[in-house]
Amino acid sequence: MLLTDARRPARTRPDGGLVPLAEQNRELWDSKAIAEGVEIITTALTSTAIGPFQLQAAIAAIHDEATRPELTDWRQINHLYGILAALAPNPIVTLNRIVATAMVDGPQVALTALDRAAADPALAEHHRTAAVRAHLLEMAGDPESAREQYRLAARRTLSLPEQRYLESRAAKLA
Protein backbone atom coordinates (compact mmCIF):
# COMPACT_ATOMS: atom_id res chain seq x y z
CA MET A 1 0.00 0.00 0.00
CA LEU A 2 2.86 2.34 0.82
CA LEU A 3 4.43 1.84 -2.61
CA THR A 4 1.15 2.43 -4.40
CA ASP A 5 0.17 5.41 -2.26
CA ALA A 6 3.55 7.04 -2.95
CA ARG A 7 2.35 7.72 -6.52
CA ARG A 8 -1.00 9.24 -5.46
CA PRO A 9 -0.05 12.92 -5.98
CA ALA A 10 0.67 12.24 -9.67
CA ARG A 11 -2.36 10.06 -10.47
CA THR A 12 -4.85 12.82 -11.29
CA ARG A 13 -4.83 16.17 -13.03
CA PRO A 14 -6.11 19.30 -11.23
CA ASP A 15 -9.48 18.77 -12.98
CA GLY A 16 -9.69 15.22 -11.58
CA GLY A 17 -8.69 13.54 -14.84
CA LEU A 18 -6.76 10.28 -14.61
CA VAL A 19 -3.05 10.21 -15.45
CA PRO A 20 -1.71 6.81 -16.57
CA LEU A 21 1.45 5.56 -14.89
CA ALA A 22 3.66 6.15 -17.94
CA GLU A 23 2.59 9.80 -18.10
CA GLN A 24 2.86 10.64 -14.41
CA ASN A 25 5.26 13.30 -13.22
CA ARG A 26 7.54 11.09 -11.16
CA GLU A 27 8.93 14.10 -9.34
CA LEU A 28 5.58 14.23 -7.54
CA TRP A 29 6.03 10.72 -6.19
CA ASP A 30 6.91 10.44 -2.50
CA SER A 31 10.52 9.24 -2.58
CA LYS A 32 10.67 8.64 1.19
CA ALA A 33 7.60 6.40 1.05
CA ILE A 34 9.10 4.56 -1.92
CA ALA A 35 12.39 3.98 -0.09
CA GLU A 36 10.53 2.74 2.97
CA GLY A 37 8.30 0.48 0.86
CA VAL A 38 11.25 -0.97 -1.07
CA GLU A 39 13.03 -1.71 2.21
CA ILE A 40 9.94 -3.44 3.61
CA ILE A 41 9.32 -5.58 0.53
CA THR A 42 13.00 -6.46 0.18
CA THR A 43 13.02 -7.71 3.77
CA ALA A 44 9.73 -9.53 3.31
CA LEU A 45 10.90 -11.31 0.16
CA THR A 46 13.97 -12.63 1.96
CA SER A 47 12.38 -13.54 5.27
CA THR A 48 8.80 -14.73 4.69
CA ALA A 49 6.91 -17.06 2.40
CA ILE A 50 6.10 -15.39 -0.89
CA GLY A 51 2.41 -14.72 -1.37
CA PRO A 52 0.19 -12.53 -3.52
CA PHE A 53 0.67 -9.38 -1.43
CA GLN A 54 4.45 -9.63 -1.54
CA LEU A 55 4.34 -10.13 -5.30
CA GLN A 56 2.04 -7.13 -5.79
CA ALA A 57 4.35 -5.04 -3.63
CA ALA A 58 7.40 -6.21 -5.59
CA ILE A 59 5.70 -5.18 -8.84
CA ALA A 60 4.84 -1.78 -7.37
CA ALA A 61 8.45 -1.39 -6.19
CA ILE A 62 9.78 -2.04 -9.68
CA HIS A 63 7.47 0.63 -11.09
CA ASP A 64 8.40 3.05 -8.30
CA GLU A 65 12.13 2.57 -8.70
CA ALA A 66 12.07 3.46 -12.41
CA THR A 67 12.97 7.14 -12.62
CA ARG A 68 11.59 7.25 -16.18
CA PRO A 69 8.93 5.01 -17.77
CA GLU A 70 11.40 3.59 -20.29
CA LEU A 71 13.61 2.38 -17.42
CA THR A 72 10.89 0.10 -16.04
CA ASP A 73 12.10 -3.51 -15.79
CA TRP A 74 9.18 -5.04 -17.70
CA ARG A 75 10.84 -8.46 -17.92
CA GLN A 76 10.93 -8.72 -14.15
CA ILE A 77 7.36 -7.40 -13.86
CA ASN A 78 6.18 -9.93 -16.43
CA HIS A 79 7.92 -12.72 -14.53
CA LEU A 80 6.35 -11.64 -11.23
CA TYR A 81 2.90 -11.48 -12.83
CA GLY A 82 3.45 -15.05 -14.03
CA ILE A 83 4.10 -16.16 -10.46
CA LEU A 84 1.16 -14.10 -9.18
CA ALA A 85 -1.13 -15.65 -11.80
CA ALA A 86 -0.13 -19.10 -10.57
CA LEU A 87 -0.62 -18.24 -6.88
CA ALA A 88 -3.71 -16.05 -7.06
CA PRO A 89 -5.25 -16.00 -10.51
CA ASN A 90 -7.86 -13.36 -11.21
CA PRO A 91 -9.02 -11.33 -14.22
CA ILE A 92 -7.09 -8.17 -13.33
CA VAL A 93 -3.84 -10.08 -12.84
CA THR A 94 -4.44 -11.65 -16.25
CA LEU A 95 -4.89 -8.24 -17.90
CA ASN A 96 -1.90 -6.73 -16.12
CA ARG A 97 0.26 -9.66 -17.19
CA ILE A 98 -0.87 -9.16 -20.79
CA VAL A 99 0.19 -5.51 -20.64
CA ALA A 100 3.57 -6.57 -19.24
CA THR A 101 3.85 -9.13 -22.04
CA ALA A 102 3.27 -6.34 -24.58
CA MET A 103 6.10 -4.35 -23.07
CA VAL A 104 8.45 -7.34 -23.31
CA ASP A 105 7.32 -9.23 -26.43
CA GLY A 106 5.33 -6.62 -28.35
CA PRO A 107 1.66 -5.81 -28.83
CA GLN A 108 0.89 -8.59 -31.32
CA VAL A 109 1.92 -11.31 -28.87
CA ALA A 110 -0.13 -9.58 -26.19
CA LEU A 111 -3.17 -9.24 -28.46
CA THR A 112 -3.08 -12.99 -29.07
CA ALA A 113 -2.92 -13.58 -25.30
CA LEU A 114 -5.81 -11.13 -24.81
CA ASP A 115 -7.93 -12.98 -27.37
CA ARG A 116 -7.44 -16.19 -25.38
CA ALA A 117 -8.11 -14.46 -22.06
CA ALA A 118 -11.27 -12.76 -23.34
CA ALA A 119 -12.86 -16.20 -23.70
CA ASP A 120 -13.17 -16.16 -19.89
CA PRO A 121 -16.68 -14.91 -19.03
CA ALA A 122 -15.18 -12.74 -16.27
CA LEU A 123 -13.24 -10.81 -18.92
CA ALA A 124 -15.41 -11.07 -22.03
CA GLU A 125 -17.50 -7.94 -21.42
CA HIS A 126 -15.27 -6.20 -18.87
CA HIS A 127 -14.44 -2.59 -19.66
CA ARG A 128 -10.81 -3.16 -18.76
CA THR A 129 -10.51 -5.87 -21.42
CA ALA A 130 -11.60 -3.36 -24.05
CA ALA A 131 -9.27 -0.73 -22.57
CA VAL A 132 -6.29 -3.10 -22.68
CA ARG A 133 -7.19 -4.10 -26.25
CA ALA A 134 -7.34 -0.40 -27.19
CA HIS A 135 -3.92 0.22 -25.63
CA LEU A 136 -2.41 -2.76 -27.44
CA LEU A 137 -3.96 -1.75 -30.77
CA GLU A 138 -2.61 1.75 -30.30
CA MET A 139 0.85 0.29 -29.60
CA ALA A 140 0.50 -1.90 -32.71
CA GLY A 141 -0.21 1.13 -34.90
CA ASP A 142 -3.94 0.61 -35.48
CA PRO A 143 -5.46 3.89 -34.25
CA GLU A 144 -8.90 3.34 -35.79
CA SER A 145 -9.44 0.01 -34.04
CA ALA A 146 -7.91 1.41 -30.85
CA ARG A 147 -10.34 4.34 -30.93
CA GLU A 148 -13.30 1.96 -31.25
CA GLN A 149 -12.08 -0.09 -28.28
CA TYR A 150 -11.48 2.98 -26.11
CA ARG A 151 -15.05 4.07 -26.83
CA LEU A 152 -16.36 0.59 -26.05
CA ALA A 153 -14.45 0.57 -22.76
CA ALA A 154 -15.86 4.02 -21.91
CA ARG A 155 -19.41 2.78 -22.50
CA ARG A 156 -18.84 -0.27 -20.29
CA THR A 157 -17.42 1.44 -17.21
CA LEU A 158 -19.56 3.07 -14.55
CA SER A 159 -16.69 5.28 -13.36
CA LEU A 160 -17.01 8.83 -14.65
CA PRO A 161 -13.26 9.57 -14.38
CA GLU A 162 -12.52 6.38 -16.33
CA GLN A 163 -15.15 7.28 -18.93
CA ARG A 164 -13.63 10.72 -19.41
CA TYR A 165 -10.12 9.27 -19.63
CA LEU A 166 -11.10 6.59 -22.15
CA GLU A 167 -13.06 9.08 -24.28
CA SER A 168 -10.08 11.44 -24.25
CA ARG A 169 -7.81 8.62 -25.44
CA ALA A 170 -10.27 7.89 -28.25
CA ALA A 171 -10.46 11.57 -29.19
CA LYS A 172 -6.66 11.80 -29.42
CA LEU A 173 -6.74 9.06 -32.05
CA ALA A 174 -9.38 10.79 -34.21
Pick from 72, 90, 114: which residue ends a domain? 72
Residue 114 sits at φ, ψ, to 5 deg, of -65, -40
Give the tens place of pLDDT for each residue, 58-109: 999 999 999 999 999 999 999 999 999 999 999 999 999 999 999 999 999 9
Position 89 in a domain: no
**Is-contact 84 93, C-beta < 8 A?**
yes
Give the tens place of pLDDT for each residue, 4-32: 999 999 999 999 999 999 999 999 999 99
Phi-psi bin for 107: left (phi > 0), alpha (psi -120 to 50), beta?
A: alpha
Segments forming the whole domain that contains residue 123 = 101-174
Position 87 in a domain: no
Position 2 in a domain: yes
Position 92 in a domain: no
- The answer to whether the predicted template modeling score (pTM) of the entire model surpasses 0.85 is yes
Does residue 66 share a domain with residue 10? yes
Residue 72 to residues 30, 65, 172, Cα–Cα distance (Å): 17, 8, 25
Does residue 105 share a domain with residue 150? yes
* Domain total in the chain: 2
Position 82 in a domain: no
